[in-house]
Amino acid sequence: MKAVNVGLLGLGTVGSGTLDVLRRNACEIRRRAGREIRVAAAAVRDPSRKRGCDTGGIALGDSPLDIANDPNIDIVVELIGGDEIAREAVLRAVDNGKHVVTANKALIALHGNAIFENAQRRGVMVAFEAAVAGGIPVIKSVREGLAGNRIEWLAGIINGTCNYILSAMDESGMDFDAALRDAQQLGYAEAQPEFDIDGIDAAHKLTILASIAFGIPLQFARVHVEGIRGIAAEDIAYARELGHRIKHLALARRAPDGIELRAHPALVAERQLLSGVGGVMNAILVHADAVGPTLYYGAGAGGEPTASAVVADLVDVVRAITTDPQNRVPHLAFQPGSLAALPILPIGEIETAYYLRMRAANRPGVLAEIARIFGDSGISIDTLLQKGRGRADESVTIIMLTQRTRERSMDAALAKLAALDSVAGEIVRIRMEKLA
Ligand code: HSE
């Protein structure tokens, strides 16, 4: 059978990794796909620049749109990133009846609904395994492997930069700034790391996971997002003393009144497998009604790990090219006409447990005052730790773990605590996830 012609947009780390994997494993890949997958053209910013990968036989140009318009190209692989040029090129490729493979989570999270609608109309596939958790085949697992289940919730460590920084802080006691510098020096964090450390990257990936888990449209704007800049070394140490690790978690959960969608730092008990996911690794725990919990672990970034997902998508697309478009696996797991309009809960309506740290005066009745506020708010205290035994006029640090409560009840209780004369300064609050 005739070779399938691929046009690559971008030849950076993932693009070169994809070329390398396609070349190295060409024989295996052909046996799986049933046809040769041939990279015929690539668009790069500077075609004259010397590259680390073998570009022999590939027509190099600088225009993604030329590739999207090229009648000889069957599949466009978009590895440029960002959501402007990439969006234009992907939409053009789809309009021209080409299938697309992309690793671009921002593109899918922000514009996926429109892209999939167009793709559906044109009868083409847009595959995006590499957009979530790099080389871990979690999209395929959730979309296809768990298709018999009602998925209840999922929780993931899906940003390697955050995980590296929090793991380094935990292991060495260093503060956030030092751990970020360390991550940048090692090439794990970008020179401009905001998307990662402010939680946006994880929120993009969560948007996609939640959509295929629950059959809801992609709704990035409804995700509650917090990053890790505010995590202090002392909170990591106290959490550890209390048998927990602090992780940046992305969570999607069915609650009685809607869906929780949130990406933020959280305490995870040491006995949970997720707490042992260190360094730049990713993992996603999915809880579904029939199978129970399943855990997906692996490299969430890097040239060849991400290329592994890109090439798997290419093989899938090649196998499905000749099938009836109506009978392919739907982009978002559920048939396009069957997506549900479930409400996404505002953050005040979510339920979780909490870690709290505050400075309080060291005099009789202070703990009783604090405990009364929680009691009156219907919040149950699980653990209480006092650090420091200063003189009567000195303050002490109080650390508390609470049971699950609605976030708005916690907001109200913390406002009352902050108004007490006996409590001074900021009250640190980090959510704590039981993952049960
Ligand atoms: N920047 C991402 C991370 C990898 O740190 O996990 C690509 O999604």
The per-residue pLDDT for 188 is 86
Atom 7 of ligand 1 has which residue's CA nearest to it?
301
Whether residue 46 lies inside any domain: the answer is yes
pLDDT value of position 125: 98
Residue 299 Cβ contacting ligand 1 at under 6 Å: no
Q: What is the DSSP string of 139-188?
A: HHIIIIITTTSPEEEEEEE--HHHHHHHHHHHHH---HHHHHHHHHHTTS
Same domain? 8 vs 98: yes
Q: What is the DSSP letter of 338?
A: G
| 71 inside domain | yes
CA gap 417, 257 in Å, rounded: 29
CA dist., res. 231 & res. 179, Å (int): 11
Compute CA distances 292 → 32, 156, 432, whole Å: 31, 16, 21
Q: Which of 294, 330, 332 is nearest to 214 (CA)?
A: 332
User: Which of 79, 162, 201 for mutating ligand 1's site (highest number of atoms within 8 Å of CB)?
Assistant: 201
The CATH number of residue 385's host domain is: 3.30.70.260
pLDDT number for residue 390: 66
Clarify whether residues 286 and 357 are in a common domain.
no
Please indicate, yes or no, whether residues 295 and 411 belong to a single structural domain of this protein.
Answer: no
Tens digits of residue pLDDT in 316-344:
999 999 899 989 999 999 999 999 999 99
407 lines ligand 1 (CB under 6 A): no
Q: From the CB of 78, is ligand 1 less than 6 Å away?
A: no
Domain of residue 171 covers 138-299
Could you tell me if 165 and 291 lie in one domain?
Answer: yes
Mapping DSSP to helix (H, G, I), strand (E, B) and coil, where does residue 418 land? helix
DSSP summary character for residue 34? S
Could you give the C-alpha distances from 62 to 22, 48, 49, 90, 324, in angstroms and in order? 22, 10, 11, 16, 34
Angle separating helix axes 233-241 and 160-172, nearest 10 degrees? 70
In a domain, 344, yes or no: no
**Does residue 292 form part of some domain?**
yes
Ligand 1 atom closest to Cα of residue 158: 6
φ/ψ bin of 245: left (φ > 0), alpha (ψ from -120 to 50), beta (otherwise): beta
Does residue 205 carry a catalytic annotation? yes
Mean pLDDT of the chain, nearest integer: 96
Distance 159 CA to ligand 1 centre (A): 5
Q: What is the pLDDT of residue 62?
A: 96
Ligand 1 centre from 163 Cα, in Å?
Answer: 10
Q: What is the DSSP string of 248-290?
A: EEEEEEEETTEEEEEEEEEEEETTSGGGG--TTEEEEEEEETT
Question: Which ligand 1 atom sits closest to the C-alpha of 202?
Answer: 6
Same domain, 250 and 366: no
265 exposed, middle or buried (CB, 10 Å; 0-12, 13-18, 19+)?
buried
Which of 98, 105, 140, 205 is flagged as catalytic?
Answer: 205
Asked whether residue 342 is assigned to any structural domain, the reply reads no
Pocket lining: 316 vs ligand 1, CB cutoff 6 Å = no
Residue 22 sits in a domain of what CATH number?
Answer: 3.40.50.720
Report helix, strand or coil for 80.
Answer: coil
Across 193-223, b (16+ Cβ under 10 Å) vs e yields bebbbbbbbbbbbbbbbbbbbbbbbbbbebb
The pLDDT score that the predictor gives to residue 411 is 98
Indicate the number of domains in the chain: 3
CA distance 133 to 286: 14
Residues 130 and 61 in one domain: yes
Q: Looking at the structure, do residues 259 and 329 belong to the same domain, yes or no?
A: no
Q: Counting atoms of ligand 1 from 1, which one is nearest the CA of 189?
A: 5
Q: Both 189 and 283 in a single domain?
A: yes
User: Is the distance from CB of 429 to CB of 418 less than 8 angstroms?
Assistant: no
**108 in ligand 1 pocket by Cβ < 6 Å?**
no
Count of C-beta atoms within a 10 Å radius of residue 51 = 16
CATH number at residue 162: 3.30.360.10
Pairing of strands 99-102, 75-78: parallel
- Residues 100 and 187 placed together within one structural domain of the fold: no
**Measuring from atom 2 of ligand 1, which residue has the nearest CA?**
159
Q: Are residue 129 and residue 256 in the same domain, yes or no?
A: no
Ligand 1 centroid distance, CA of 204 (Å) = 11
- Start-to-end CA distance of the chain, whole Å, equals 50
* Low-confidence spans in the chain with pLDDT less than 70: 390, 392
CB 104 near ligand 1, within 6 Å? no
- Is residue 143 domain-shared with residue 292, that is, in the same domain? yes
Number of DSSP helices (H) and strands (E) in the chain, helices first: 14, 17
pTM equals 0.96
Q: Which of 195, 196, 281 to mutate to test the pocket of ligand 1 (most atoms within 8 A of CB)?
A: 196
Look at the block and give the residue holding tokens 């190099």: 60
| 390 and 247 within one domain | no
Task: Report pLDDT for 436.
Answer: 84
Our answer on whether the CB atom of 161 is closer than 6 Å to any ligand 1 atom is: yes
Residue 9 falls within a domain, yes or no? yes
For residue 107, is it within any domain? yes
Evaluate whether residue 44 is within a structural domain: yes
